[in-house]
Structure 1
Amino acid sequence: MRKLLLLLVLGLCVFNAAQSLKICAFNVQSFGEAKSHNKKVMSILLKILSRCDLCLIQEVRDSKGKAIQSLVNSLNRYDKSNSYLYLQSERLGRKTYKEQYVYIYRDNVLKLKDQYQYPKLEGDGTNETNVFSREPFIVRFHSPTTLIKDLVLIGQHTCPKNAMKEIDELYTVFKGIHKKWKTENVMILGDLNAACNYVTLKGWRSVRLRGDPRFQWLIGDDQDTTVREKTHCAYDRIIVHGPEMISSTVPGSAQPFNFKENFHLTEEEALEVSDHFPVEVELKRNHRYLLRHEL
């Protein structure tokens, strides 16, 4: 009986470890109609996205809205065990260059509670008060299967030449969300261009997200989120705040996903998909929920 009980406990541990909720962020590098019509690229994207319960896609340049719709429709056909929906921001950017943020998520796992497009400050787009080139897109999900039930994500793709100012300003965004939604448990994620030539050691000292110990940077400075072998930069980051959010992350799970190595691609093949690797982190499932609903 004791041996049987031990096996059951071990089995539950393995089961629950495999059932963590995965959150990803991926700069897909100018995703639009051209990539959506490339079958090879799309097949790789489907493999990547089907690994994630929730993924923030950045650098979507899809003015007609057909490319993302096609991607999500294909994802639903590819992964029939889940149901995917998407949520997109308005088209953002100064002057004529525009991008969108898109969250693709499993609606059989997560339920959308709210969304908030951070407002653009009034001005002509060149005023110093307009810090962001692409204002953050913020979402709130209910997650019944995880220890943390209320997920708030701040998605951001910074402008490289202004990266440090934008990263610092995300502190102000966090304070606003804390006041608006009454939560400390927040995840900031995306291509922050937070490495190499876009940051300086002196500049880091003035960045509030770095100086405040309540923010944990899960993707470290020594990690590489770039596809090209000649670069080694931690451009893409995941940052968490709040005791519940921090304690809910699976230790060691935050990392870039090297799809080039995992899918045995050449550098040239991988670069057709993107010049960035996705970054990901896992959140702990609620054991009691799993026992009640999945065993």
Structure 2
Amino acid sequence: MKLLHSALTVVTVIAVICNVVDSAKICAFNIQVLGKTKMGKPEVVEVLTKIIKRYDMVLIQEIRDADQVAIYQLLDEVNSASGNQYAMALGPRVGRTSSKEQYAYFYKHSEFQVEGSFTYVEPNDEFEREPYVVNFKSLKSLSVSDFTVIGLHAKPDDAVNEIDSLTAVYEEAANKYGTDASIIMGDLNADCSYVGQNDWDDISLWKDNRFDWLISDNADTTVSSTNCAYDRIVLAGIDAGDRSSGFVFNFQSYYGLTQEEAKDVSDHYPVYFDLY
């Protein structure tokens, strides 16, 4: 099996070098309290726009705006800077408390189209912010033409249980849309004090060999001085190599920002991978 996997990886690399297949950059980004206040800071919006333009699809998390205006403003800014390339799939406001959040997918409409979507209905109130699932059809020549994306911003203090429950979300999405190809991603709070070394055996999404985790446990997805791999990408039914296939975009270093300037943008770095 390992030999077959290696052979497939080599074939994929050769195909990419020879431009035989297309690729798409898929990203998850917790923007941290995206609302009117953040959108009122031009220097922050400029950096957010630059970041989003790097990717063909972006899961945006932690949208907190009761009037639901800020996310449309951000989409307008991105499209103004990119030549109107992006469409949006926007989930409902979710959360157990008055502090509701939304998930949004920005995606290039020339590369993907939405075939369906749903917010997961929990049998036992497993999630603080229920996952938002979108079924995408690729308009490019990718290794998968039809796949689901499952976005989650996990509650820190219940991260182990919420990540474990994502297996059931995946199975419902697979049954609903008839594809086992899926990208599960977001701020899963999957490290440090929220998910410790002894917790992984209790997480089916980690133990089940249907799932491949791309972001290394040693990665740092936080802007602050902590060193935690909170943000993750997990694949099912998609061959993307190994954990080295997932990346963290350190926008502070890339754009030469100070610590305070970077924190104004977000307390998380985006994570991404290339889908071939």
TM-score, scaled relative to structure 1:
0.84
**2:272 equivalent among 247, 255, 280:** 280
8 A contact 2:29–2:61 mirrored in 1: yes
Query: Is 2:100 aligned against 1:108?
Result: no
Pairwise CA distance, 1:83: 1.6
Task: For 1:134-213, list aligned pairs within 5 A.
Answer: 134-145=129-140, 146-213=142-209
Alignment check: 8 A CA contact 2:213 2:243 kept? no
Tell me how far 1:204 sits from its aligned partner: 1.1
Matches within 5 A, 1:21-170: 21-80=24-83, 83-121=85-123, 129-145=124-140, 146-170=142-166
SS in structure 1 of the partner of residue 202 of structure 2: coil
Cα distance between partner residues in 2 of 1:273 and 1:13: 33
Q: Tell me by how many angstroms 1:254 deviates.
A: 1.2
- Asked if 1:239 is matched to 2:242, the reply is no
Distance, in Å, in 2 between the alignment partners of 1:165 and 1:251 is 23
Q: Using a 3 Å threshold, how does the CA distance of structure 1 residues 204 and 149 change in structure 2: closer, same or farther?
A: same
Q: Distance in 2 between matches of 1:143 and 1:271?
A: 34
CA RMSD of aligned residues (A): 1.8
- 1:56 Cα deviation (Å)? 0.3
Q: Is the 8 A contact 1:160 1:198 kept in 2?
A: yes
State the alpha-carbon separation in 1 of the partners of residues 228 and 271 from structure 2.
13
**Superposed structure 1 runs of 4+ greater than 4 Å apart:** 12-15
- Deviation per CA, 1:191-246: give whole Å up to 9, x if none: 00000000122221011011112211000111010011x2100000000011xx12
Indicate how the Cα distance of structure 1 residues 268 and 219 shifts in structure 2: closer, same or farther if over 3 A, else same. same
What is the rounded CA distance, in whole Å, between the counterparts of 2:179 and 2:54 in structure 1?
28
Specify the SS of the correspondent of 2:239: helix
Q: Distance in 2 between matches of 1:233 and 1:168?
A: 19
Secondary structure at the counterpart of residue 133 of structure 2: strand
The one-letter amino acid paired with 1:118 is Y
- How many matched pairs? 261
Measure how far apart 1:279 and its partner are: 0.3
Q: Does the C-alpha gap of structure 1 residues 250 and 94 become closer, same or farther in structure 2, counting only changes over 3 Å?
A: same
CA distance in 2, matches of 1:36, 1:201: 38
**1:103 maps to amino acid:** Y
Give the unaligned 5+ runs of structure 2.
1-14
For residues 27-49 of structure 1, the C-alpha deviation after alignment (integer angstroms, 9 at most, x for no partner) is: 00000001111100000000000
Counterpart code for 2:214: L
SS in 2 for 1:197: coil
CA distance in structure 1 between the partners assigned to 2:228 and 2:121 by the alignment: 30
Conserved 8 A contact 1:143-1:149: yes
Structure 1, gaps ≥5 residues long: 1-11, 122-128, 285-295
| Number of the residue aligned with 2:222 | 226
State the shift of 1:251 in Å. 8.1
2:210 corresponds in structure 1 to 214
- Give the 3-state SS of the residue equivalent to 2:193 in structure 1: helix
CA gap 1:250/1:282 in 2 versus in 1, 3 angstroms: farther
Superimposed CA distance per residue, residues 236-282 of structure 1 (whole angstroms, 9 cap, x where no aligned partner): 0000011xx125x6984411100000001111100000000000011
